[in-house]
Structure 1
């Protein structure tokens, strides 16, 4: 996993070439910062750290820098951003790149420079010679969105880096409360570790006490109350959101989005799609699909259709100024209780 690469960097076992690619910006940024912190001291950064945007600068200029002897240090660190020539994307490039020179450099990289390609692209073009050569020679980080199992492993590894443990239930609760964003998860794990102290174990109670619930998580909890016919609990969460200065129109939009997701998951599951397939089809993280699938099982089709109609009506009233925005969501919750769930 990513932590294996990070451990090598921390042990100062560097590669001459790195290829960091994928849409998960957090992983790329963390790796870049680790390289800076463990390769260069503060005095060397001004002299031996360079960054080139390859959409603006030809590769030749960057390679000349890589072949320049470092000043006041042993190594130069060079970041090459946006190497679009590694992809199949057709663009009107502002600059021309001498890819033959790059291929030659990849075969014989400078012994006193570390060159890092940062490519925020979902896919690279594996048919291109330069891509093949780079993937063959470089240390690679595929910065992809992590699956639920990988996120659980991530949380445990991050906890270990902080000198603490976290049990499975606590990690799962953290995912549910904080979501799947790695920036948020890292911040929360670091906070939990600081609270319990080195050598301790993070449990579910500590997570529930300390982890801030995101707006999306509060909406999920609100919907969970609705699903379980607990309108009083739903209203309590709604009023808490209003106290936090959340706009009713935003709350309504998130509720609507979640119920649409529940409906889509239910329909696609009926067609025989698995949860991973649904996640790929809807371009939504599998963990959210798993949670929505659990909620979908508690609704009949006609109930979901009724709820979506109520939400559409509330949205129309809210946008046309027909009623007080705060009251509209209250009415939605009461109507849902009185009409949709009366047997």
Structure 2
């Protein structure tokens, strides 16, 4: 797990070789930053940090660098980006790489160098001999979407890194409001850490007052208000979105997406799928599945089917100019409130 690797790096327990792969760019960037911070001091970084793009440079050039003694420091850190020879995905790599040279290096890596492969691919090609060797000899970090437990652990760790603690209900509320994007969550945690000052603790109220809502999370809140029959609060959110110059057609599209997710989660749950399975099948974060499952309990199947039809009708009228776009969403919300 990536959080465990981060702990080892902070303790300066380094591997000679790392492979960072996956589609979660934040986790890859964070791991790179931690390695740079803890492997090299500021002066040594100018001389002993190297970065290669393997779509432009043969791997043997980077290996020669790794075999060179560090200058004015104890360690050399070498990043190798885009190692297309580790994946079955199509890449831009048109360079001829001396993979045998790399295989030889893996058997006896330089004790003073740390080699880091940065592979922004969903999967590594497990059939390749080189991949198998790396999985045996290297620390392999999969940068994938964190599950709910990992995400909450990451938020607490990020808060601790900023010098504060965060209450459990504040963690939950932050995910509900800001979503699961790690870049956005980092910004919000850092902002809250500054706000809480000497108390050194982030409470739920502070999250509610300060955390910026994404458009998707505003829509989720809007749907949640309707689900709980709070039409006045739902309309207030909708009017605020219009004041922020959000397009009605975009708002309608996200509302439809949320109700579609509720319908799908309800159906998959009936078929015996777990939340993690649903998340993988629907390609959404497990936390969104959890929230949609809670909302789905408040609707019968025929109600959700009717809502989806109303949304499709509103979308058609919006695109054909039947009524004012802003009014169509208002009418949808009123009907939803009256009928359900």
Using the size of structure 2 for normalisation, the TM-score is 0.93
Who is 2:84 aligned against?
84
Q: CA deviation at 1:139?
A: 2.7
- Checking the alignment, whether the CA contact within 8 Å between 2:54 and 2:93 is kept in structure 1 is no
Show the 5 A alignment for 1:246-261: 246-261=246-261
Who is 1:67 aligned against?
67
Separation of aligned partners in 2, 1:123 and 1:20: 11
Show the 5 A alignment for 1:1-343: 1-89=1-89, 93-197=93-197, 200-338=200-338, 340-341=339-340
Separation of aligned partners in 2, 1:45 and 1:329: 56
- Checking the alignment, whether the CA contact within 8 Å between 1:15 and 1:114 is kept in structure 2 is yes
| Mean Cα deviation higher: 124-133 or 235-244 | 124-133
Q: CA deviation at 1:245?
A: 1.5
Aligned residues: 340
Separation of aligned partners in 2, 1:7 and 1:276: 26
Separation of aligned partners in 1, 2:92 and 2:3: 37
Q: CA deviation at 1:59?
A: 1.1
Separation of aligned partners in 2, 1:157 and 1:43: 28
Separation of aligned partners in 2, 1:91 and 1:174: 37
Separation of aligned partners in 2, 1:171 and 1:281: 26
After superposition, the CA RMSD in angstroms is 2.0
Task: For structure 1, list consecutive stretches of 5 or more residues without a partner in the other structure.
Answer: none
Q: CA deviation at 1:215?
A: 1.1
Q: CA deviation at 1:118?
A: 0.8
Using the size of structure 1 for normalisation, the TM-score is 0.92
| Mean Cα deviation higher: 67-76 or 235-244 | 67-76
Q: CA deviation at 1:115?
A: 1.2
- Checking the alignment, whether the CA contact within 8 Å between 2:86 and 2:131 is kept in structure 1 is yes
* SS of alignment partner, residue 23 of structure 1: coil
- Checking the alignment, whether the CA contact within 8 Å between 1:163 and 1:198 is kept in structure 2 is no
- Checking the alignment, whether the CA contact within 8 Å between 1:19 and 1:117 is kept in structure 2 is yes
Q: CA deviation at 1:120?
A: 1.6
Q: CA deviation at 1:21?
A: 1.5
